[in-house]
Chain A
């Protein structure tokens, strides 16, 4: 289909490992969001891109988290030196443009850090 895809769907990492999570947004969508959903919580904002520009990264919990969208389409969320508290579902959503627009979500990547 033409929806948002994310890979991998599941990732188990040992504490201290680096991980990279990929998001393929809907073609032509300008805006791309990353969210983190911890167990029992709602999705929490991590970062926002408009095309290739990262306009807001205020939600990234630490400097171990890094996101990029170099060509304004595919985005990667990288977590360095993973910790147990990083275990969560990471959701990606795209829209065109942001603000009152419906966000289209991927299925998420479920990360478990042991």
Chain B
């Protein structure tokens, strides 16, 4: 059983604050790391697929970094907006397995 952990479990911030959260995964046999955003009553939406150590990806105000040697990825949101309120899931793929292992997610609430 692969251990994928996300922290914090939940986060409340004010509009305009910048925030970040963590996904920890096994540091061996890395293949890919996915980030998803899941808004209530909608489908989880893919944000990033990260495959190389040191990868940095950016989409608007959201960015992510990857450290496969130590087994973590950070997701950053700059200038949070209420529409950023969602659960952010990471999913780890190990080499030789096509089955991603998901973390429990970080629930972000941005207050206006």
Contacts and interface: CB of A to CB of B under 8 A. Distances in A.
Contacts, number: 54
A99 B43 contact: no
Given A42-B4, A100-B31, A56 B99 contact: yes
B87 to A, nearest CB: 9
Contacts of A43: 89, 102
Contacts of A108: 43
Interface of B: 4, 6, 31-32, 34, 36, 41-46, 49, 51, 89, 93, 98-105
Given A42-B4, A100-B93, A102-B34, A107 B102 contact: no
23 contacts: A4-B43, A33-B99, A41-B104, A42-B89, A42-B102, A42-B105, A43-B89, A44-B102, A48-B99, A59-B99, A93-B44, A98-B98, A99-B32, A99-B93, A99-B98, A100-B31, A100-B49, A101-B49, A102-B49, A103-B34, A103-B100, A104-B46, A105-B36
Range of interface residues on A (Cβ < 8 Å): 20 to 34
Nearest to A97: B98
3 pairs of A and B residues whose beta carbons are closest in the complex? A42-B102, A98-B98, A105-B44
